[in-house]
Structure 1
Amino acid sequence: MQTGIGGKTADVVLDGGKRFDICVWFQPQYRNSVETIGNLPLLAKQGALLPLSRVAKVETSEGYAFIRHDELLRNAVIQMDVRGRDVNGFVQDAQAVIQREVKLPTGYRLQWGGAFENQQRAMARLAVIVPLTIGIIFVLLYTTFNSAALAGIILANVPFAMMGGLISLFLRRQYLSVPSAIGFIAVFGVAMLNGIVLVSFLNEQLAQGKPLREAVRGGALLRLRPVLMTASVTILGLLPMLVSQGVGAEVQRPLATVVVGGLLTSTALTLLLIPMLFEWLMLRRGRSLNQATKESL
């Protein structure tokens, strides 16, 4: 049965680097006929020949070409490609439809794998790594400036960078994925680096004895070029990835889109809002110090 109907490799023909199997099986008029298959002779222990139909029921039906097992359970795999939308949204919609319209028999279960499973696993790790990274950066900023308020001003770049990244993904009709999540981590680092450069310089201007308004305005103007150069070099370096269409573009484009969009908004925050917040914070500290001095007197 296995040889006549399923075919069996009898030999291999080599043609240069190519290999061709020579299979032996029945001719189509015999292997496609239920009656012919039922008349196949079987040799009994006593030497008698019996037709296959005497010991088995031969019929045509649809079935699996082969059966997979996973953890001692039969496993049937359905493969598909998702185009024009994100994998996570497609799976959520499919799960809702299946739950509403499909009733699985007892003992059956569905499991979604592939790119969706990898994405969920990566997102779960990033959900821990990103807050932990931001927390460590806050501690480092606090130890650098010895001020939680200044560290908070620099960390204000994070939501602005995230907002720019999300807007850029929406404008380019892309979806939140693992590469885009990695892009958010990258843009957070660049954005906070620009904030550190500006706040450190403003502190230096105040330490030199300059008036607050002059120190803030002069410091912002003097740090304008370094901040713009840092953002511009990063954006220009990512332009090839931003417009890539070849192999790996599905990974490069979301990452570059997030970084470029996030840098645009975070750079605007660094140059416009951080000086204002810094001046407001210094004025508030001055008022608090004067009030404490009066109360002590």
Structure 2
Amino acid sequence: MEIAEELSAAVRAKTKARAFVQQQSTFGGRRGNMPVQYVLQATSIERLQEVLPEFMKRVYESPVFQMADVDLKFSKPEVRIEVNRDKANLLGVSTRNIAQTLQYGLSGQRLGYFYMNGKQYEILAEINRQQRNKPADLRSIYVRSDKGEMIQMDNLISLAENVAPPQLYHYNRFLSATVSAGLAKGKTIGQGLDEMDRIADETLGDDFRTALAGDSKEFRESSSSLMFAFILAVMLIYLILAAQFESFKDPLVIMLTVPLAIAGALVFMWGADQTMNIFSQIGIIMLIGLVAKNGILIVEFANQKQEAGLDKMRAIEEASLQRLRPILMTSASTILGLLPLTVATGEGANGRIAMGIAVVGGMVVSTLLTLYIVPAIYSYVSTNRIKKSKHNDA
């Protein structure tokens, strides 16, 4: 990445050609496309031709992107032929005859075969290249009228020179143009997509639709899937703990360790200059299960102490003291086991580093804060099992 950033800055100074530095995708296959791929969809090619220059101008000016390109380029010269139908009817020439004459003269269409010396040859209809090199040469072609007269094409048609794209692109059955952009140093795909959305809101009309392609599409889908997985993991752990503890209060105390872990992960990621990416999000989901065990050790042991006859405050004090060693041992072993990820090197090291820093940071902060916050919350929220057992006996 560092080499790519240096090369990108160097090639921007070269003005005789447009150069792009592309890296292999970390996820989503082996493509080497630029990370941001934004698709503009319209109902007509004319609308795309009208809007694209202004859209690309805003993209070039944006500090979020260091390079940009679009696949739909209006660079192919073309000549449009318009038939004067009234004049053609007056001279007895049908538009079909005009179209067929142009087709036979310019397309090189095969008319048949002939045999000579035992070999078969194709018969191709085409005007000599010297007589069709220029658009104005079309005017000198003759077409036969219904009366058998030869009429020059100049009397029947008008020419309009224009430019058109060499190839048309479609996305979800709409005419489309895909804008690809490289990110500036320190910018993420999420920030790039937000910037594209902002530019689209300012430049596109109501008749346009937008979509994502390539790495951008996979990033957005992965982000939404990971958020769903995170919420599902929290709910699943809470329901399992509620069934195990036979209480809805005690799992709440344990689940308070999750925001502590997330806060620690974010602080460490900020200190290490890491972004919120797919790898760090996976690490945060891992934290939900890793940090919950600290709270489980304290709460379960405190409940046992209460059932043995101690009051709530005395029970949580005993549980915190006696469970301090196993909490520190399990947390230290987890942190030390994941520590090599934070200093990984080689291909794909960025993903391992992001995941390692998120998990290690969350474990360190949650372990330290859990020893103070969980006992305090337990004393206020948890069920008083002595009163509960007396009520059941009565």
TM-score by length of 1: 0.69
Q: Secondary structure at the match of 2:258?
A: helix
Q: Which residue of 1 aligns with 2:143?
A: none
Note the C-alpha offset of 1:132: 2.3
Residues 182 and 255, structure 1, Cα contact 8 Å, conserved in 2: yes
What is the alpha-carbon distance in structure 2 between the residues aligned to residue 79 and residue 282 of structure 1? Answer: 54
Residues 309 and 386, structure 2, Cα contact 8 Å, conserved in 1: no
Distance 1:49 1:121, change over 3 A: closer
Q: Which residue of 1 aligns with 2:19?
A: none
Distance 1:202 1:289, change over 3 A: closer
Residues 198 and 270, structure 1, Cα contact 8 Å, conserved in 2: no
Residues 302 and 316, structure 2, Cα contact 8 Å, conserved in 1: yes
Note the C-alpha offset of 1:109: 4.7
Q: Which residue of 2 aligns with 1:89?
A: 191
Residues 241 and 256, structure 1, Cα contact 8 Å, conserved in 2: yes
Note the C-alpha offset of 1:181: 1.7
Residues 279 and 355, structure 2, Cα contact 8 Å, conserved in 1: yes
Q: Secondary structure at the match of 1:246?
A: coil
Mind listing any 5+ residue stretches in structure 2 that lack a counterpart? Answer: 1-104, 110-123, 140-160
Q: Secondary structure at the match of 1:111?
A: strand
What is the alpha-carbon distance in structure 1 between the residues aligned to residue 304 and residue 388 of structure 2? Answer: 22
Distance 1:48 1:271, change over 3 A: closer
Note the C-alpha offset of 1:63: 6.5
| Pairing 1:167–2:267 present | yes
TM-score by length of 2: 0.54
For residues 10-21 of structure 1, the aligned pairs below 5 Å read: none
Note the C-alpha offset of 1:88: 0.9
What is the alpha-carbon distance in structure 2 between the residues aligned to residue 253 and residue 202 of structure 1? Answer: 37
Q: Which residue of 1 aligns with 2:321?
A: 221
Q: Which residue of 2 aligns with 1:179?
A: 279
Deviations 1:219-268 (A, max 9, x none): 21221121112222222222222122422223222222221221122212
Residues 153 and 277, structure 1, Cα contact 8 Å, conserved in 2: yes
What is the alpha-carbon distance in structure 1 between the residues aligned to residue 191 and residue 248 of structure 2? Answer: 39
Note the C-alpha offset of 1:141: 0.9
What is the alpha-carbon distance in structure 2 between the residues aligned to residue 268 and residue 127 of structure 1? Answer: 26
Q: Which residue of 2 aligns with 1:79?
A: 180
For residues 92-107 of structure 1, the aligned pairs below 5 Å read: 92-100=194-202, 102-103=203-204
Residues 320 and 371, structure 2, Cα contact 8 Å, conserved in 1: yes
Note the C-alpha offset of 1:75: 4.1
Deviations 1:140-176 (A, max 9, x none): 1111111211111011111111211222222222222
Name which structure has the greater RCO, CA cutoff 8 Å, separation 6+.
2
Residues 233 and 288, structure 2, Cα contact 8 Å, conserved in 1: no
Q: Which residue of 2 aligns with 1:31?
A: none
Q: Secondary structure at the match of 2:179?
A: coil
Q: Secondary structure at the match of 1:164?
A: helix
Note the C-alpha offset of 1:192: 0.8
How many percent identity over aligned positions? Answer: 25
For residues 55-66 of structure 1, the aligned pairs below 5 Å read: 55=138, 66=167
Decide which structure has greater strand share.
2
Q: Secondary structure at the match of 1:201?
A: helix
Distance 1:63 1:236, change over 3 A: farther
Note the C-alpha offset of 1:190: 0.8
* CA RMSD, Structure 1 to Structure 2 (Å): 3.6
**Count of matched residue pairs:** 251
What is the alpha-carbon distance in structure 2 between the residues aligned to residue 127 and residue 86 of structure 1? Answer: 18
1:196 to 296, 300, 307: 296
Note the C-alpha offset of 1:67: 4.5
| Pairing 1:240–2:240 present | no
What is the alpha-carbon distance in structure 1 between the residues aligned to residue 245 and residue 126 of structure 2? Answer: 97
Q: Which residue of 2 aligns with 1:20?
A: none
Decide which structure has greater helix share.
1
Note the C-alpha offset of 1:107: 6.6
Distance 1:140 1:73, change over 3 A: closer
- Please, which moves more after superposition, 120-129 or 72-81? 72-81
Q: Secondary structure at the match of 1:80?
A: strand
Q: What amino acid is aligned across from residue 78 of structure 1 in structure 2?
A: V
Q: Which residue of 1 aligns with 2:256?
A: 156
Q: Which residue of 2 aligns with 1:9?
A: none
Note the C-alpha offset of 1:130: 2.1
Residues 87 and 116, structure 1, Cα contact 8 Å, conserved in 2: yes
Q: Secondary structure at the match of 1:79?
A: strand
Mind listing any 5+ residue stretches in structure 1 that lack a counterpart? Answer: 1-40
What is the alpha-carbon distance in structure 1 between the residues aligned to residue 128 and residue 363 of structure 2? Answer: 83
Q: Secondary structure at the match of 1:134?
A: helix
Q: What amino acid is aligned across from residue 330 of structure 2 in structure 1?
A: T
What is the alpha-carbon distance in structure 2 between the residues aligned to residue 47 and residue 204 of structure 1? Answer: 97
